[in-house]
Amino acid sequence: MFGRYLSRLRRGGKNGGLASGFQQERVTSAFEVVASLRTDPGCMRDVNEDSGCHVHPGDPHLLGERGILTVVADGMGGHAAGEVASRIAIETISRSYYYGSGEPSAALRRAFMEANRRICEVAAGADNLRGMGTTCTALALCGERAFIAHVGDSRLYLLRNGRLYLLTEDHSIVMEMVRRGTLSREEARHHADRNVITRALGTNSNVDIYMPASPLTVRIGDIFMLCSDGLHDLVEDRELEQILVMTSTPYEASERLIALARARGGYDNITIGVVKLRPVNRSATERAPVTRETEAVE
């Protein structure tokens, strides 16, 4: 089955072949992937230390082997250093993932490890960057399989059949306390240390990367959402669910979510990636098998 390129509605790429802040559509016989990746500095900060990318290769071979990659990273460490760390993460990961060999899961793990090494190296080479690091959450959609890799407190959610599922666990001090039973989830939401993370890329030569043992099998209608804590700190899961259900496009969803986080103070940078698997023809293909994309024509 051949994918057919539809339209590129919005694009603000400033990252060579990678794009950030855009929406695009592509069609297979079974479903089309519609995505929106947006990052907003918020209301209080001059610098945006978040980075994000959505890569949908035009090369049919690359698309077949590696699929579509979405990454969100939230950098930290001194003035503007976080910006450097998160940018290195998304650039290194997208390059390494697409041009590395092996299965997607192995390639994604190696890409995270390479980003970790690279950030450590750059941090060691410049005084003003020492100690920088970044969270990183990635989703690779290869045909019907979704591969996930995650470090830190950015999140990946899945909306399926109108219900929202959190697919990642925050690597944070408060989540450790929740796990040990010393803090409730509601208390964690308001805890003073809720932004203190226990794992990051670039702060240690060894990093424990969370990856599920096997990929998730996607369904038509699934909506994935990746976000930095600038969103999930201010907007509760039930509200995320409501907005993802109510809105008709990823672009509209991310606009609404950013507006809501900003209306509530927007004290942190906000990055949102929404990736939707939409049936091409809802009545005819609702039960059609998911088809692997093998070619795209620009």
The residues binding Mn ion (CB under 5 A) are 74, 228-230, 268
CB count in 10 Å sphere of residue 184 = 10
Q: Please tell me the distance from the alpha carbon of residue 235 to that of residue 231, in angstroms, as a whole number.
A: 6
Least CB distance to Mn ion at residue 87 (A): 15
Least CB distance to Mn ion at residue 119 (A): 17
| Residue 177 Cα distances to 73, 151, 197, 236, 249, angstroms | 24, 18, 12, 20, 37
Q: Which is nearer to Mn ion, 231 or 277 (CB)?
A: 231
Least CB distance to Mn ion at residue 112 (A): 19
Q: Which is nearer to Mn ion, 25 or 74 (CB)?
A: 74
Q: Which is nearer to Mn ion, 194 or 276 (CB)?
A: 194
Which residues share a beta bridge with 38? 272
Least CB distance to Mn ion at residue 9 (A): 27
Least CB distance to Mn ion at residue 28 (A): 35
Least CB distance to Mn ion at residue 47 (A): 12
Q: Please tell me the distance from the alpha carbon of residue 22 to that of residue 40, in angstroms, as a whole number.
A: 13
Q: Which is nearer to Mn ion, 232 or 276 (CB)?
A: 232
Q: Which is nearer to Mn ion, 88 or 296 (CB)?
A: 88
Paired sense of beta strands 216-217 and 136-142, if any? unpaired
Q: Which long-range contacts (CB under 8 A, 24 or more apart) does 65-68 make?
A: 65/104, 65/142, 66/97, 66/98, 66/104, 66/107, 66/140, 66/142, 67/104, 67/140, 67/141, 67/142, 67/143, 67/145, 67/293, 68/33, 68/35, 68/140, 68/141, 68/275
Residue 73's closest CA among 119, 118, 136?
136
Q: How is residue 153 annotated by DSSP?
A: S
Q: Which is nearer to Mn ion, 151 or 216 (CB)?
A: 151
Least CB distance to Mn ion at residue 220 (A): 32
Q: Which is nearer to Mn ion, 105 or 135 (CB)?
A: 135
Residue 201's closest CA among 92, 96, 107?
92
Which residues share a beta bridge with 27? 4, 32
